[in-house]
Amino acid sequence: MSERAEADMVTVQVRDDIAWVRFNRPEKRNAMSPKLNRQMLRVLEELEFRADVGVLVLTGEGSAWSAGMDLQEYFRDTEAQGLEGVRRSQREAYAWWERLRWYQKVTIAMVNGWCFGGAYGPLYACDLAFCSEDAQFGLSEINWGILPGGGATKVAAELMPMRKAMYHALLGETLSGREAVSAGLVNEALPAQQLEARVTEVAKKLLKKNWATLKATKDAMRRVRPLTYDEAQDYLIRAQEALNWHDETDGRHRGMTQFLDDKSYKPGLGEYDKSK
């Protein structure tokens, strides 16, 4: 077991309504150990409902975003504890990925380096993903004798076209940042020195939008995927009606007023002014 304290496994800075959350095991390429997984869940719980957090960015210290599950501490050590140890450590990992998938705030993966295997869980959980051009992505499981578990196969099948996903999983080769964009794993790849500025720019744009609407929209995008058209349409009607009730700022009426009466903005070209 590594000697580092559990509380050190993740760092957090909140600046200008953006929470910068970092995997903090650079010496192990931010591999996800049970300690890191437990601490990440604590951090996410602490940040989720804070009024000074509108967007959460998940990134990594050092040369990795995350090298996936920790082969020593997540696999070998927990297997030595038997089924109970395995199931407990799976729950600890899956719990924070699930929390992130349905997080109250918009989440952005800022992939600064290596991203392997189990790291596809949190990658998919984040709503948007930006990477460094020199980041590398891989389903490396095939290279060490397991299938891409913990959701990684599902992530590749969800995000990538079938042929690309199959090649990716069977060959275990890495994709560069740009290749990850064309494969559908991330939104954009940028030169490393521009990555944080671009993510900050996107986060600031998101912060100007109606927060209740962002949450309803991101959930809807994930929910409708397995539904039929008719089921999706019905879900979206109910979700909008729920939003009308829950949006205490009454955004849609303010948006309509500013466009139709005040003529102060055009919804096709930008958001209404939340301060009015």
Residues that bind ligand COA (CB under 6 A): 28-29, 31, 63, 67-72, 114, 116-118, 140-141
Q: Give the nearer residue to ligand COA in terms of CB position, either 121 or 251.
A: 121
Q: Give the nearer residue to ligand COA in terms of CB position, either 64 or 189.
A: 64
**Least Cβ distance, residue 30 to ligand COA (angstroms):** 8
Amino acid at 268: G
**Least Cβ distance, residue 21 to ligand COA (angstroms):** 20
Q: Give the nearer residue to ligand COA in terms of CB position, either 68 or 255.
A: 68
**Least Cβ distance, residue 137 to ligand COA (angstroms):** 11
**Least Cβ distance, residue 231 to ligand COA (angstroms):** 34
Q: Give the nearer residue to ligand COA in terms of CB position, either 120 or 272.
A: 120
Q: Give the nearer residue to ligand COA in terms of CB position, either 30 or 210.
A: 30
Q: Give the nearer residue to ligand COA in terms of CB position, either 141 or 247.
A: 141
**Least Cβ distance, residue 24 to ligand COA (angstroms):** 13
Phi/psi of residue 141, each to 5°? -55, -45
**Least Cβ distance, residue 48 to ligand COA (angstroms):** 26
Could you write out the DSSP letters of every residue in the chain?
---S-GGGGEEEEEETTEEEEEE--GGGTT-B-HHHHHHHHHHHHHHHT-TT-SEEEEEESTTEEE--B-IIIIIIHHHTT-HHHHHHHHHHHHHHHHHHHT-SSEEEEEE-SEEEGGGHHHHHHSSEEEEETT-EEE-THHHHT---TTTHHHHHHHHS-HHHHHHHHHH---EEHHHHHHHTS-SEEE-HHHHHHHHHHHHHHHHTS-HHHHHHHHHHHHHHTTS-HHHHHHHHHHHHHHHHHH-TT-HHHHHHIIIIIS----TTTS---TT-
Amino acid at 240: Q
Q: Give the nearer residue to ligand COA in terms of CB position, either 116 or 211.
A: 116
**Least Cβ distance, residue 8 to ligand COA (angstroms):** 16
